[in-house]
Amino acid sequence: MDFDRYDRIRPIRWQGDRLSLLDQRRLPFTVEMVDCTDSDAVARAIHDLVVRGAPAIGIAAAWGAVLAGQGVQAADGAEALVRLGPALDRLKAARPTAVNLMWALARVRRALAAAGSDWLAVLSAEAIAIETEDLAANRYMGALGAALIAPGSGVLTHCNTGSLATAGFGTALGVIRAGVAEGRIERVYASETRPWLQGARLTVWELLQDGIPATLIGDGAAAHLMKTGAVQWVIVGADRICANGDTANKIGTYSHAIAARHHGLKVMVVAPSSTVDMDTARGEDIEIEMRDPAELLSVAGTRTVADGVEAWNPVFDVTPAGLIDAIVTERGVVTAPDAARMAAVFGAKIPG
């Protein structure tokens, strides 16, 4: 596969003294970078969804740690870890659900704790490794996931899981790219993903850059589409996969999984092992991010709801493992996931 043909979008660009982030709040009509010159600016960018997507926010946080490191003097990594601790905590607190954020910062802390006087170089090397490993994982998962899809299939995806949400190529969107390239996927549908519209604003735009036509549907049209028989797989990303396979992902994923089971479709979750959290036993234990209800009161900046109306805005939900047919990771595919099958691939705990 000509990965470069698919992999032109780079939302995270390290510039040596600042981190340039593609402002995903402005896409698709405005392509604009936001320059972060310190770690707190990166934390704000993660919270404000300038950069979003579980793997992408982990990568951004790792570069945020490098920015924090550039601002301190320390004899070795252990001393640097003490001085950087508050900044790393503020990065970790930027969003609660995607475990990649916590995983990346735990990796950074571990690298620093073992580093000598060259700790800043070690820190930068860790950020580079986190980013390059994610890209390699996505390309490998693309092949693994595509192999599960019979030629002539239609797929539905939710939210955005592509180059905008990762180091490149994407997770669920990586499987879709590979499946299209191999002639296995004939029809791609993307649900708009209210309220932030990652599907309508990002996914269909991203696929358009690749010359992959995708049909946008309203979130409420998913079950009706499944009923037509046009779709055989629902393929989504993840923000946190528990030890029993329960999976937190963008709000609306759970509804799609219920409808898929009802209509005999299969559900594939695609995520790198940095999204697997073997320390969280089951979905009920995941903190679901509640964002400003005001995000529900407007569309693209235009107020659509009368004053005085209350709104409830959880931005993730949990799909129980029993509704998932395959979890595709770079460590292997877990079919019919449960605690035993997850442990067989990931062991009792993932270093992170």
Q: At what angle do helices 119-146 and 54-69 cross, to 10 degrees?
A: 170
Ligand-binding site membership of 266 (annotated): no
Is 147 within 8 Å of 174 (Cβ atoms)? no
Ligand-binding site membership of 250 (annotated): yes
Residue 159 or 181 having the CB closest to ligand LNRAV4D5: 159
Residue 119 or 233 having the CB closest to ligand LNRAV4D5: 233
Bridge-based pairing of strands 12-14 and 266-270 is unpaired
Residue 3 or 110 having the CB closest to ligand LNRAV4D5: 3
CB of 159 to ligand LNRAV4D5, least distance (A): 4
Place of tokens 């092992």: 273
The two structure tokens encoding residue 109? 């802390």
Residue facing ligand LNRAV4D5 at closest CB distance: 237
Ligand-binding site membership of 54 (annotated): yes
The catalytic residue positions are: 239
The two structure tokens encoding residue 237? 């990303």
Residue 213: how many other CB atoms lie within 10 Å: 11
Ligand-binding site membership of 209 (annotated): no
Ligand-binding site membership of 53 (annotated): yes
The H or E element containing residue 20 is: strand 19-22
Q: Tell me how far apart the alpha carbons of residues 248 and 238 are, in angstroms, rounded to a whole number.
A: 6
CB of 172 to ligand LNRAV4D5, least distance (A): 7
The two structure tokens encoding residue 344? 């067989």
Residue 98 or 123 having the CB closest to ligand LNRAV4D5: 98
Residue 120: how many other CB atoms lie within 10 Å: 17
CB of 184 to ligand LNRAV4D5, least distance (A): 21
Place of tokens 């499946």: 179
Q: Which residues bind ligand LNRAV4D5 (CB under 6 A)?
A: 52-55, 159, 161, 165-166, 171, 198, 236-239, 249-250, 315
CB of 232 to ligand LNRAV4D5, least distance (A): 20
Task: State the binding site for substrate.
Answer: 52-54, 95, 198, 249-250
